Structure 1
Amino acid sequence: MSQTRADIAVIGGTGFYSFLEDPEEVRVETPYGDPSAPVAIGTVAGRRVAFLPRHGTSHEYAPHTIPYRANLWALRSLGVRQVLAPCAVGGLRPEVAPGDVVVPDQLVDRTYRRVPSYVEGGAVHLPFGDPYCDRLSAAVAGTADDVHRGGTMVIIEGPRFSTRAESRHYADQGWTLINMTGHPEAALAREMRQCYTPIALVTDMDAGAESGAGVGQAEVFARFKANLERLTGLLTDAIAALPDPDGCSCSTWADGLELTYSIPGEVPAPVFP
């Protein structure tokens, strides 16, 4: 396999660079502009893995300005078919607590300033009833006894945190986690016919879930940094256990459909009259 190809990608914070063996940076041009950063490709558990820092190498992209379409297209152009997405989340309900790792199975989109799709014309409607890959979720959840599987993650626009009333409203709906980056990342991965699952670290309880001043940025960053070694170990074990993506419904949903956007190496760019 070419050294600039990878089967698996991790989209996460810059602290994850260290888990790649002998990484090589690859700059990728996309029809949607530059991705958040050059893609680093190296080896993990004997497999070729691409890493892309979601917020850029110096955290220059706020959640609502991340070039999500460029990121997923760039990874697909390098051969990536499976995406693991570690992220920081707030907890909304008492069944989770700071320090927990959760693999959710549902999302609720509350964003409003982002381009959520590659579809810009024509009739292409993405099936998204189950937004995350069941195969990947099972592999991640099987890496450790303390990884929780299931729950709903609500994605808010950001960059501000929720008001206490908003947070309580989300909890009252039965939603488990709150995050700012999970959409449209998951939907775009599905449009690229990639398997995708988040790996959510609970860094805090959201403003409406506990008393006090509410969540702050320093608390979130400190909790995530303190758990980097644990998360990189989990990622390494998950990568070693990932199943063959062939035949997964994350890819086969588009079989027989005429897509109106390009998938690199698979579907050419459409030509409209």
Structure 2
Amino acid sequence: MTVYAIIGGTGLTQLEGLTIRQALPLETPYGKPSADVLRGEYAGREVLFLARHGHPHRIPPHQVNYRANLWALREAGAEAFLAVNAVGGIHAAMGTGHLCVPHQIVDYTYGRAHTYFEGELDAVTHVDFSYPYDEALRQKLIAALGAEGCAWSGHGVYGCTQGPRLETAAEITRLERDGCDIVGMTGMPEAVLARELDLPYACLALVVNPAAGKSHQLITMADIERALSEGMGRVKSVLGRLLASH
């Protein structure tokens, strides 16, 4: 059976219901990951779990060591990545609490260590990134969402910004013009690093606020935390359904 690694984002620094068998304080050629890799049992099967922002939540999106995180998970035995991301909603359908399995991504980040293929190489390597998410894994998430009975979308374009600040209304207008449906800060370079490791990767995104300018109210952390608290239960249920059926 496939060993899935769950990468928990904001609101999912620990996976309630995970029976932890082992905490692995791994070192990698790229430094330390955000937290120990946890090996355990969830929904009746072996999984790996890593808190993207550390536990407690302390590492901002632009300072996450994405290379170390994915490398450590692979070294621990991960065969596929299920990434959980908190995002803002741009498209009208992406209201607070909506769950989205994006099919494309636009990268607006800068200055992040974004590849394993650098330094003293034997040859230059380019990976095909036309379709950034693994389609078979996306379909498994979609099937689990379909059984959950909540508001969801099986496609969407994820615009990944640098952070840690939220975007301006003008920036969101630009992203919308570029075709983005949701906006977050952690989708890249995570997705491309998984591709460089040749491991399937898919994202389950929870909309926790309307993007800047998409609401008459200011975005507050209290509102975001409320949406996270309400939505992460559905996220865990979806992950449990996927794991139990595959």
TM-score, normalised on structure 2? 0.91
Distance 2:243 2:49 in 1: 12
Instruction: State the partner residue of 2:229.
Output: 225
Q: 1:11 aligns with which of 7, 10, 30?
A: 7
Instruction: State the partner residue of 1:260.
Output: none
- Aligned residue runs from structure 1 range 78-117, under 5 A: 78-117=76-115
Residue 116 to residue 15, structure 1, CA distance change in 2 (3 Å): closer
- Aligned residue runs from structure 1 range 123-272, under 5 A: 123-145=124-146, 146=150, 147-213=152-218, 215-242=219-246
> What percent identity do the matched residue pairs reach?
37
Name structure 1 gaps, 5 residues minimum.
Answer: 243-273
Question: Deviation string for 1:121-143 (max 9, x for gaps)?
Answer: 43110100000010111001111
| Larger Cα-atom Rg | 1
Instruction: Please tell me the root mean square deviation across aligned C-alpha atoms, in Å.
Output: 1.6
Residue 43 to residue 238, structure 1, CA distance change in 2 (3 Å): same
- How many residue pairs match? The answer is 237
Distance 1:23 1:64 in 2: 31
Residue 22 to residue 38, structure 1, CA distance change in 2 (3 Å): closer
Distance 1:23 1:169 in 2: 46
Instruction: State the partner residue of 1:256.
Output: none
Question: Deviation string for 1:4-58 (max 9, x for gaps)?
Answer: xx81100014444222124421111100000000011111233210000000001
Distance 2:159 2:190 in 1: 13
Q: How far does residue 148 in structure 1 lie from its aligned partner after superposition?
A: 1.3
* Aligned AA (1:207): A
Residue 70 to residue 15, structure 1, CA distance change in 2 (3 Å): closer
